Structure 1
Amino acid sequence: MLLFSSLLSAQSKRYVIDSTLEIPLKDGTVLSCMLLYQEGAALPLPVVLRANCYPSKSDTIRAQYVADSGYAGVFVYNRGKSRSGGSFYPMENDAADNYEAIDWISKQPWCNGKIGMYGGSYLGFAQWATVKNIHPALRTIVPQVAVGPGVDYPNPGGIFLTYMLQWLKYVRNNHYLDDATFFDQEKWSSLNKEYLLRGLPFSALDSLEGSGMDTIFQRWIMHPGNDDYWQKMTPTPEEFARINIPILSTTGFFDDDQRGAIYYYNAHHTYGTAAALKDHYLFIGPFDHGGGQGGKRRDTIAPYIIDKAAMVDQKQLVLDWFNYTLKGGPKPAFLRDRIAVFAMGENKWHYFPSVEKMNTDTLSFYLPAKPEETMTKRKRGGRKPLVFSFDAADTADDTLTIYDANSAVITEAMFSRKQLITLATPPFDKDLILNGSISAELWMSSGTPDADLMLSWWEVDSEGKRWPLAHTAQRLSLSIDKAKPSYWKENEIYHITLKEGAWMCKQIRKGSRIVMTISPAANLYWQKNYGAAKDVSQQTLLDALMHELRFYPESHINIPVM
């Protein structure tokens, strides 16, 4: 062990740190571990653990952050990361390895037998993986902006993200992080454009990148649906039912992994016991992926300016949570009820006991027969469908940049698409607060076996300004059975439900309309689906089909209102 000093809060502090610890696993692999606590602390201490695939120089600072509040800060690194043995196979070993790591930590003389976990993104997923089999020493988790494998990454809606290869190179090229490769945006933009404009198969993306076949990339594309490969990484319904520890979940309206975070929250509330649900809290506000896990908060996420009232000190909230769960202190004062959600525009936090009790109404609007017609509150007569046609061979929209570079917000570039239908509700006659996920109930038929569909929703105010609310994308062949492709029969009518759009809470002003776009999910960030009845990862431009999607009169959207 080593002693070192640090100047924090204008006060000199000294810490005990040991970065040479090793955790032996049953299969012979050894995980590297770092321990840090304040010099002079009365051992043993409760432990705050981060199971981490992103080794960084800032890990010491993060460990100091919890050590200053009377904990032992512990980092355990995934196989193949830092000094850990083995190879890093993302999301495959976390559940079993973290159980063994917690068992080892709980038996150390500096641990008092109480362990909590926190962290965001992959580290959020790692906590949900860990509670598949809860170790008695694990007393709480704080999953922040948690990735949901098979749910929001790497294949939301059954559509692979081109970003997945970029991320794999970042975390698997060496034992630390390959920043040079990952942050070379010109490289990745050029690669994705070449794949799309040449009409190449998605399976060739790794070879096209230049460093040869990537075994994990190739493994992942064998599983486009949320099948057993992904499902076994996180709790089953039976495992959700056995969770019996307090949980604080956090995410943001503009978080790229909000879909994963909300999936876990909803699954626990579907399968968990009433006693366990009383201690599962959700914190959601106008934050991006970094801000939703206590990182730097952006006061502007274009076109939104975030009010100061939203800027709760999330780092302090996490410390207060650990004081509550690991030290028997009071519940954090901010958590007045089990859901804390910030309403933009109204600029106020609201608190609710459950999702079921947070809203007062649901507004439904039915799709018209023609784009120039207005959506209506009542289903129109007749059977004439709204028709959307496009040519999958047309690359005009494929290389559009439709996302904010730093969040999940889509930009007005969406409206420059060639292949697009735009629909609108009538203007609202009073203010209302949208709270939750806009969903779509669609009765559809298709002239092709498959297509990737993207919907987006916007508030267009009385002055014509567009405010992005949410979007969702879905592969039609994975819309009925989410686990395995089922190709659509020509002209047969199917009913699908799209409810995975982002949770948004925003005041919608009187005179505003909700505008909805329908387009192919074809852009620089997504795998291209040409529509054939074959594995999309093997399709090329030669498989491109003319599409005709029909939306029948029963089709409508649902807008949840606080």
Structure 2
Amino acid sequence: MKDGAEVSIVTVQRKGIPTTKTSAILVASIYAGTNETAAMLSASKGYVGVIANTRGKRLSKSDIKPLEYENTDVYEVIDWISKQSWSNQKVAMFGGSYNGFTQWASMKHKVHPALKTIVPMVAIAPGIDYPMENNVLHNYSYSWNFYVTNNKFLDFEASNDFNRWNTLKNTWYKTGVAYNKLDSLDGQENTLWNTYMQHPSYDEYWKKMIPYKEEFAKIDIPILTITGYYDDSQRGAMYYYNQHHKYAKNPNHYLVVGPYDHWTAQTKPEESLRNYKLDKSALINIEEDLIYQWFDYILNEKEKPSILKDKVNFQVMDTDTWMHKPSLGAMTNDTLTFHLSATKTDDFYTLKSKTNTSKIEMKVDFKDRESMNNTEYYPWPLEKENINLKDGLIFKSDALTEDVIINGSFFGNLEFSINKKDVDYSVIVYQLTPEGNYFHLSYFIGRASYAKDREHRNLLTPNQMTQVSFDNSKLISKKIEKGSRIVVVVNVNKNNNAQINYGTGKDVNKENIIDAKIPLKITLTGKSSISLPAWNFAKD
């Protein structure tokens, strides 16, 4: 690298002496030792497979620096590839998760002339969806840092030491010590984690890693983004997609999304996902077929993949069909809007079609470490017979009078007052089927003080009514049959999976159980609404 650092590179070619110059398929990855099969597949398809590992990994003598230097290093790797004797000066990139992030990072400053296309799958966006989600720092990334930095390859022993990680989060929760004491409890310094905690806002530390605002405008190459409805990094993938469309003029950017998670959206989905049986049409081979059909289309002027009938291509769960639209906005022609109401039947409050004068109260005692809140936000399994009716405020709609397809990301506007300066809140949306099962559609977790601006914290005024809006939930497409009901769970995030925001207004990482003297009291009003974007065939 120009600054003297080293990046380790592996190339894979077909046997024999090449007679023509060849395009390269590049994977830029921190996961040293795991991408050789992908490079060999590229070679078998007639390309040169190239793996570039993050500086410090594999044979590099440099210090291991996750995230920080991909914005320059990957560009230099592309430049190096373009100057090889076998290169035809055409480079394509693909990869998922971290390996999706590196593709966008390579274009932070400019697009290399040799880079002809990228295929980012389930791409993380540092500071957006990793290691925090809507400014709430989750502790799953704590162990990842050791996994990728303990040695030149990967420390599977540390990563798979579930007893260590479960003991750590449970001890932290039970004792009520500050979040910034995690590595003290663990007994091993976690330098990268401590760095994360110094940047709770989307500040310059995060902005330097990937394109920011107008920097997306210069990205003019064809792009195929792939993600899943249950991909943990979906909001990262969609952040890039949305920002590119916001700042670039008519970007040549396609989207494929279906009932996949973080793994199957990079490979080939199995027949079932978390106990849900996929439609046959969803069973596409992403890693072996779709990706290389795209590369052949862009690099070799062959036919476009048949699934890409429009710019936005999504599988509609429970219909065994795909829909194809020119934009995300075109996915929707109707909206189901529900307002919270204090009217209660059995264990359920009511969702109503109109605003009302209701006030619904909830108290959360942060001193209480025998129980947790918002423990069922994560969609696993997707369908179950029961949910915990004591965890949060549970609202239920009337039965739907016709079939409808939920298409897109649900959004909401919560009007409430709290006796604190901040709160981490959650909204989960279920389909209650006519058979009485709960199907997890989507969820949102966010910090109220960052609802208006992820770059600047704006504290709430205690005991004053405020409105907090959000639209960054995970998108989904699913048929909701007649007779189903919509169930909404509004909650406060208090569990062992993420920071606990005690609401003092101080740095959340420094708050501890001493700050929990007064329970949080939140009062929601009937002006609060949850809206589900929908496709109504009667309006088509």
User: Which range, TM-score by smaller chain?
Assistant: over 0.9
User: Which residue is equivalent to 2:367?
Assistant: 393
1:84 is matched with 60
1:33 to 1, 6, 9: 9
1:272 aligned residue:
248
Tell me what 1:47 maps to.
24
* Worse-superposed segment, 430-439 or 58-67: 58-67
SS of the equivalent of 1:550 reads: strand
Name the counterpart of 1:330.
303
Aligned residue number for residue 538 of structure 2:
none
Distance 2:276 2:165 in 1: 28
Question: By how many angstroms is 1:415 displaced?
Answer: 3.5
CA separation of 1:417/1:510 partners in 2, compared to 1, >3 Å: closer, same or farther?
A: closer
State the match for 2:329 in structure 1: 356
Q: Which amino acid aligns with 1:522?
A: K
Structure 2 counterpart SS, 1:200: coil
Q: 1:437 corresponds to which residue? A: 409
Amino acid across the alignment from 2:197 = I
Tell me the equivalent position of 1:11.
none
**Deviation of the 1:401 alpha carbon:** 5.8
Distance 1:37 1:287 in 2: 31
Question: Alignment RMSD, CA only?
Answer: 1.9
For residue 94 of structure 2, what is the amino acid of its counterpart?
A: Y
Distance of 1:154 and 1:476 partners within structure 2: 18
Partner of 1:378: 354
SS at match of 1:192: helix
Partner of 1:193: helix, strand, or coil? helix
1:203 correspondence with 2:180? yes
Give the distance between the partners of 1:290 and 1:209, measured in 2 at CA: 29
1:141 to 118, 137, 142: 118
**Contact between 2:312 and 2:325, CA under 8 Å: does it hold in 1?**
yes
**Deviation of the 1:395 alpha carbon:** 2.1
Distance 2:313 2:190 in 1: 42
Q: Distance in 1 between matches of 2:506 and 2:277?
A: 45
- Asked if 2 retains the 8 angstrom alpha-carbon contact of 1:444 and 1:494, the reply is yes
Among 269, 278, 281, the alignment partner of 1:306 is 278
C-alpha distance in 1, partners of 2:452/2:373? 29
Partner SS for 1:266: helix
- Give how far 1:409 is off: 6.0
Greater shift, 317-326 or 81-90, is seen at 81-90
Once the 2 structures are TM-superposed, how far is the Cα of residue 433 of structure 1 from its aligned partner? 0.6
Relative to structure 1, the CA distance from residue 479 to residue 125 in structure 2 (aligned partners, 3 Å threshold; closer, same or farther) is same
3-state SS, counterpart of residue 135 of structure 1: coil
Residue number in structure 1 paired with 2:37: 61
Q: Secondary structure at the match of 1:531?
A: coil
Give distance in 1, aligned partners of 2:113 and 2:522: 53
* Counterpart residue identity of residue 449, structure 1: K
- The match for 1:289 among 258, 262, 287 is 262
Q: CA separation of 1:131/1:154 partners in 2, compared to 1, >3 Å: closer, same or farther? A: same
TM-score (norm 2): 0.94
- 8 Å Cα contact 1:402-1:413 kept in structure 2: no
Match of 1:549 among 522, 530, 540: 522
Once residues 496 and 412 of structure 2 are traced to their aligned partners in structure 1, the CA distance between those partners, rounded to angstroms, is 25
The CA deviation string for residues 469-497 of structure 1, in whole angstroms up to 9 with x for no partner, is 01111112222331232221112222221
Helix, strand or coil for the counterpart of 2:205? helix
* Residue deviations 1:236-286 (CA, integer Å, cap 9, x gap): 121111110000000001111011111111111111111xx2x21100001
Match of 1:223 among 199, 215, 220: 199
- Which residue of structure 1 lines up, in the alignment, with residue 142 of structure 2? 165
Letter in 2 for 1:398: M
State the distance in 1 between where 2:191 and 2:485 align.
47
The offset of 1:421, in angstroms, is 0.7
Separation of aligned partners in 1, 2:39 and 2:32: 13
1:479 is aligned to 451
1:416 aligned counterpart, secondary structure: coil
Equivalent position amino acid for 2:437 in 1: K
Aligned counterpart, 1:461: 433
Write the letter of the residue equivalent to 2:28: A
Matched position secondary structure for 1:342: strand
Determine helix, strand or coil for the equivalent of 1:124. Answer: helix
Distance of 2:424 and 2:145 partners within structure 1:
24
**Aligned partner of 1:494 among 444, 466, 477:** 466
The answer as to 2:46 corresponding to 1:73 is: no
Deviations 1:143-190 (A, max 9, x none): 000001111111102111111111101111111101001012121111
Note if contact 1:287-1:298 (Cα within 8 Å) is conserved in structure 2. Answer: no
Structure 1 range deviating more: 216-225 or 384-393: 384-393
| 8 A contact 2:276–2:383 mirrored in 1 | no
Secondary structure, in 3 states, of the residue corresponding to 1:126?
helix
TM-score, normalised on structure 1? 0.90
Report the equivalent of 1:14: none
- Larger mean CA deviation between 258-267 and 487-496 belongs to 487-496
* Secondary structure in structure 1 of the residue aligned to 2:7: strand
Among candidates 87, 104, 129, match of residue 80 of structure 2: 104
Q: Is the 8 A contact 1:402 1:410 kept in 2?
A: no
**Alignment partners' CA distance in 2, 1:440 and 1:85:** 49
**1:451 matches 2:423:** yes
SS of alignment partner, residue 167 of structure 2: helix
Amino acid paired to 1:394:
D
Cα distance change on mapping 1:298 and 1:82 into 2, 3 Å: same
Matched, 1:368 2:341: yes
User: Hey, what's the Cα distance between the residues in 1 that align with 2:391 and 2:407?
Assistant: 30
Q: Does 1:319 align with 2:300?
A: no
Q: What amino acid sits opposite 1:385 in the alignment?
A: K
Residues 33-57 of structure 1: CA distance to partner in whole angstroms, max 9, x if unpaired?
A: 001111233342100000010012x
CA distance in 2, matches of 1:528, 1:412: 28
- Is there any run of 5+ residues in structure 2 with no aligned partner, and where? 536-540
Q: Distance in 1 between matches of 2:152 and 2:524?
A: 50
- CA shift, 1:436, in A, is 0.7
In 1, the alpha carbon distance for the partners of 2:201 and 2:314 equals 31
Q: CA deviation at 1:412?
A: 5.9
The change in CA–CA distance for 1:356 and 1:403 in structure 2 (over 3 A counts) is closer
C-alpha distance in structure 2 between counterparts of 1:258 and 1:236, whole Å: 18
Output the CA distance in 2 between the equivalents of 1:413 and 1:147: 33
Alpha carbons 2:131, 2:138 under 8 Å: kept: yes
